[in-house]
Homo-oligomer: A and B are copies of this chain.
Amino acid sequence: MSVAAEMTSIEPRIAELIRHSMALRPGDAVAGSCAGVLDAVLDQALTSSEGGKRLRARLALAAFDQATRGNAAQPARSGMLDLACAIEVFQTAALVHDDIIDESDLRRGKPSAHRALSTATRSDAIGRGLGIMLGDLLATASVDIANDASRRLGSPDGVVAAFLNMHKEVEVGQVLDLAVELAPLDDPESLAEASLNVFRWKTASYTTIAPIELALLAAGGDPDKSRRTALAIGRPLGLAFQLADDLLDVVGSSKRTGKPVGGDIREGKRTVLLADALAMASPAERDELADAFCAPSRDEALVRRVIGLFESTGAVARSRERIAALWDESRSAIAERCGADAPEDRAFAEACARFVPLA
């Protein structure tokens, strides 16, 4: 299926599934005086879901088509489409909570969900509370959609359990991400290891591992074998993806990411780039970096200086090397799984390659 055709099937289906899953059962009324706020939350669920590149859903569909050689019956293929959409809905849920935790005002170039709800209710506290609930509602909807899809796929073994495991891994990843913020800066090697470990849990989990695993399970694959294949391809691919994303924050344009350049640095985020820069810096530069990241905030000039250090120390080049090596590892696992002759094989390899545009 062409990219345009894929997007045409995924995009409206996500909105349809959210509306259906979040609707109240017939006959269940809410008090009129409160209906407006509930409607605002449901509207925000749809707004927050817009504008993704749907890389995850497209990877899942490509993996399913590769596993079934494109011969799945129509009801199963449409069940798989919904399962793929459920991953996207879960992502939105995770991002809504992520933005509350990071106190981010923007997401995909628009106000973040809790900010939009604060504006709508004219109260930061109520907006934040509604944001927490919106994340919860979307997380619930994602499992509901996956559970329905699994039934339409003939309830293959372990789909719902694997979907919930994906939730858990991302939640663990978010915990680890917060833990890294507490880590000292005097041990760059341990910081790099911890940051890569966060990528494994917080990003690779639902970005590349789960889409492949769920697709293979949906195609009737053995749970253990599906998991192993998903990890072999998806773990290095997901790490490469997050490294590329962090790199884009430093060398990219704000138009591309919807966020201002250097956002991670401004927030004082501990990243692999920072760890590599600390490891390769001179003692004086190391002190300068440590001071910059321990300060309560960083102005534009300091952000630019840190970007300069990330480049001059070789941290940017090191990230590019890391990305290339991880993509090589993922490509080997893809080659082991499939040839390059059938269109489904090529489409799957392309769906993977989309995660590493810089490689």
Contact = CB atoms under 8 A, between A and B. Distances in A.
Interface string A180-196: 11110000001101100
Contacts of A22: 168
A176 B30 contact: yes
B129 A101 contact: yes
Copy number in this complex? 2
Interface in A134-191: 135-137, 139-141, 143-144, 147-148, 155, 160-161, 164-165, 167-168, 171-172, 174-176, 178-183, 190-191
Interface string A117-146: 000010101101110110111011101100
B197 A31 contact: yes
**Would you call the interface of chain A mostly helix, strand, loop, or mixed?**
helix
A182 B30 contact: no
Contact of A183 (B33, B167, B183): B33
Nearest to A123: B182
Contact of A171 (B137, B176, B182): B137
A184 to B, nearest CB: 9
A357 interface: no
Interface string A333-344: 000000000000
Interface in A196-216: 197-198, 201
A268 B143 CA distance: 35
A41 interface: yes
Interface of A: 21-22, 24-25, 29-34, 36-38, 41, 97, 100-101, 103, 121, 123, 125-126, 128-130, 132-133, 135-137, 139-141, 143-144, 147-148, 155, 160-161, 164-165, 167-168, 171-172, 174-176, 178-183, 190-191, 193-194, 197-198, 201
